[in-house]
Amino acid sequence: MALRQRLTDMGVDVQSSLKDAVGVGYWLSVAPQSQRLLGDAQLQNLSNEFNELKHKIMLCEGVAPAE
């Protein structure tokens, strides 16, 4: 996957997983220690390079949801 390789080249520690059972897309999870490497400018450059890229900030996994 080209995007994952590009992020790795930038020094970003990422893990990939299938987005859904159909295999239409992928989630890339950025390790907490690498998040500082992906500011607004870097995300904009990646969006220009990879047209279908969407990013979303997710709450920490394993934490009980607020009710």
pLDDT of 8-50, one tens digit each? 999 999 888 887 766 678 888 888 888 888 888 998 999 899 9
Residue 12 is encoded by which pair of tokens?
């970003």
CB 29 within 8 A of CB 7: no
Which pLDDT score, from 0 to 100, does residue 67 have?
52
Residue 1 is encoded by which pair of tokens?
């996957």
Residue 54 is encoded by which pair of tokens?
């969407």
> What pTM was computed for the model?
0.63
Give the tens place of pLDDT for each residue, 47-62. 899 988 888 877 666 5
